[in-house]
Amino acid sequence: MAAPISVKNSSPVTMYILQICLVIAAFISLSYGNRKVLDTRLPIHHDPEAFTTYVLVVEHSFDQGMTPKFSSRGTLSFRSNKDGQGMFVQTAALTAGEKRKLKDLAKHDGIYRIRVPTSLEASPDDSSLQFVSTFTRACALLESRLTDNITVSVDQSGNVLGVSLVPMDGSCDRDPTVESSSLLDYFNTSVALQVTTAGPTPDTQAFVRKMEDEREMKEKGKGPDNRSFLAKYWMYIVPVVLFVLVSSGGDQARS
């Protein structure tokens, strides 16, 4: 075991070196204590829209009349509130009763309806939901073997302006009783979101300002009318003179 250094018996040179070492150690300790650690990582900016999914419940009806009853068909999902493709998830397979109703609609050239809420952020549990709806011929949907396209149109605030439903084959040329024999249980639906943008509005203030400037320029350009009496009213005097001459000529001819 090494013997401890005796400061009392140390030489002046040793004491001087020891003091220098203590000063250096204190300086290093102070420097590391006050030094700020720099974070060289780049800041990460998160787009809230990138993690937002909008889900719309889509309902359908096989009823005719002014007050049809709707039931759940599935959900439409969108990864953002911008133009793009979406995804359709069907709630459940079509029941035998729904298939029978669709066949009857196609046989009598009836219409098949769907509807969606009026907002991308609408809650399915909200009892006061309002809807926008559309329809297509049931025979077209039957001929398409439940293959269709749904497009939801919204404004920049996420309000649903309309919805469209387009079957893949809308001709209705074939016999619906033949097509219904191979009716599927699930819809094959393509979904798209379309965002409408407002067009440029007319700059009415600039137009009014321009009209006022033109009026002021015209008023400033108008000076006092220094024309003679004949120059001002010749268009009235000439017809009167001609009338007098013609009248006097006629009187002389009769005399």
Task: Indicate the domain borders of the chain.
Answer: 49-195
pLDDT digits (tens, 9 = 90+) for 153-209: 999 888 999 999 999 987 788 776 655 556 789 999 999 999 987 766 666 777 778
Length of the chain: 255
Query: 56 vs 180, which has greater pLDDT?
Result: 56
Whether residue 47 has pLDDT greater than 80: no
Establish how many alpha carbons lie within 13 A of residue 91's alpha carbon, considering only the half-sphere containing its beta carbon: 12
d(CA 54, CA 253): 100
pTM of the full structure: 0.59
Displacement of CA 68 from its chain's centroid (Å): 30
d(CA 133, CA 115): 4
pLDDT digits (tens, 9 = 90+) for 197-250: 776 666 677 777 877 887 777 777 665 666 777 777 777 787 777 877 877 766
pLDDT of residue 255: 57
For the chain, percent helix, then strand, then coil, each to nearest 5? 40, 25, 40
Whether residue 253 has pLDDT greater than 70: no
Kind of pairing, strands 71-78 and 111-117? unpaired
Is there a contact between 22 and 81 (Cβ–Cβ < 8 Å)?
Answer: no
Q: What's the pLDDT band for 12 if we cut at 50, 70, 90?
A: low
What average pLDDT does the chain have?
79
Query: 6 vs 145, which has greater pLDDT?
Result: 145
> Which of 131, 133, 155, 150 lies closest to 82, judged by CA?
155
